[in-house]
Structure 1
Amino acid sequence: MMKKLLLGLWFSLLLAAISVLFWKNEFQYSLPTPIPEDYHPVAMGSKIDLKCCTIDQKPVFIHFFNPECPCSRFNIPHVSELIKKYGNRVNFKIVVINNEKSVTIGEIQRKFNAEIPVYFDETIAKNCGVFSTPQAALIDSSQKLYFRGNYNKTRYCTDAETNYAEQAIEMLLKKTNAPSFDALAMRAYGCSLPKCTK
């Protein structure tokens, strides 16, 4: 009887440990990021202060990246592909949030295999209405917010039908009206700012 009780207890502890690991590494990142209490919404079509970034009549694509955020790390290959595909028609920028490990501009550029501007300025996220990573903000040539949201519904950006950021780039380049995506594209998922917490 005692042996069965100990075996049952051991299995219960093992199941609890697996559940905690699943929560920590997977499930919590599938939930929307809580909206901060001091959050000030920025509406689509709002003029965005781009003091950080030069404007040359090309749209500006800002990738908000947190080196400590697993979701940010998972979509590096997808963002790198976007930079390769659209880099001659769109000004790509990376804004690094939560730079506690003293990551350099060169290290970030190597991660994305692209020599594009990198900023360490949290106010850019606030100006764009971004409160989690990874997030994308696409600003048209008149400095208005055209798209702010997620890259894809899957963590590794493998679902072609929900490549929201890429679809927004395509629509803007074709001079289409601002995209109308479902809530999944616009609701923030991932790590909350400024720290990598949920």
Structure 2
Amino acid sequence: MKKKILLSLWFTLLIFLVGYLFWQNEFKYSLPTPVPQNYHAIAMGSKIELGPCCAFDNKPIFIHFFNPDCPCSRFNVPHVSDLIKKYGDKINFKIVVLNKKRNFTIDEIQKKFDAQIPVYFDEAIAENCGVFSTPQAVLLDPSHKLYYRGNYNKTRYCTDAKSNYAQMAIDSLLSKNHNPSFNAFALRAYGCSLPKCTK
């Protein structure tokens, strides 16, 4: 009888641990990021003020909001690197690092993405673009109007070609589609919450 009780307790504990690990490493990242109470929404089509970091040169601007400590951000580094390589001659790529706990150098971030692109550490850029989680993609048209703000892909590792939302947004803008439509999953924030970048 004692053996059965111990076995039952052991299996219960095992199931709990597996469930906890699944929650910590997978399921919680599939849930939308809660919208902050003081969130100021920025509508698509709004003119975005980015300051002196983004001078006009008649090219669209793609901003990758990144936190090296956010698991979701780390998973999509290869995908973002591929986008930079593929579209770097047509789009001005920039990375905004959002991390309150650790300091990173520009060189460290550029090495992660294998790209010599501008890197900023200014949280005001996220606020101006209406970004409250990482990773997030923001695409501005050549006149700095918000064309897309959202996710990269439905999967954490950006492996689903049918849901490459950020890439679809780039292709749409480059093809001069002035009335894009993106599905709800593309536009809803998933990932780590700002400002502390926790899930």
SS at match of 1:138: strand
SS at match of 2:81: helix
Kindly tell me the number of residue pairs found equivalent between the two proteins. Answer: 198
What's the offset of the Cα at 1:100? 2.2
After TM superposition, the score normalised by the length of structure 2 is 0.97
- Corresponding residue for residue 71 of structure 1: 72
- Corresponding residue for residue 149 of structure 1: 150
What's the offset of the Cα at 1:54? 2.2
After TM superposition, the score normalised by the length of structure 1 is 0.97
Query: In 2, distance between residues paired with 1:64 and 1:119?
Result: 10
Q: Which runs of 4+ in 1 moved over 4 A?
A: none
Superposed CA offset, 1:116-146 (max 9, x none)? 0000011111100111111000001111000
User: What residue identity is the alignment partner of 1:148?
Assistant: R
Query: In 2, distance between residues paired with 1:58 and 1:178?
Result: 18
Q: Kindly indicate whether the alpha-carbon contact (under 8 Å) linking 1:99 and 1:120 is maintained by their aligned counterparts in 2.
A: no
Query: In 1, distance between residues paired with 2:134 and 2:85?
Result: 21
User: What residue identity is the alignment partner of 2:192?
Assistant: C
Q: Kindly indicate whether the alpha-carbon contact (under 8 Å) linking 2:72 and 2:134 is maintained by their aligned counterparts in 1.
A: yes
- Which consecutive residues of structure 1, in runs of 5 or more, have no partner in the other structure? none
- Corresponding residue for residue 93 of structure 1: 94
Alignment of 1:157-196 (within 5 A): 157-196=158-197
From the superposition, tell whether residues 99 and 67 of structure 1 become closer, same or farther in structure 2 (CA, over 3 Å): farther
Q: Kindly indicate whether the alpha-carbon contact (under 8 Å) linking 1:147 and 1:178 is maintained by their aligned counterparts in 2.
A: no
What's the offset of the Cα at 1:99? 4.7
- Among all aligned residue pairs of Structure 1 and Structure 2, give the percentage whose two residues are the same amino acid: 70
Q: Kindly indicate whether the alpha-carbon contact (under 8 Å) linking 2:100 and 2:195 is maintained by their aligned counterparts in 1.
A: no
What's the offset of the Cα at 1:30? 0.1
User: What residue identity is the alignment partner of 1:175?
Assistant: K
SS at match of 2:166: helix
- Corresponding residue for residue 56 of structure 2: 55
What's the offset of the Cα at 1:196? 2.4
Q: Kindly indicate whether the alpha-carbon contact (under 8 Å) linking 1:172 and 1:178 is maintained by their aligned counterparts in 2.
A: no
Superposed CA offset, 1:130-174 (max 9, x none)? 111110000011110000000111111111111111111111111
Query: In 2, distance between residues paired with 1:99 and 1:61?
Result: 23
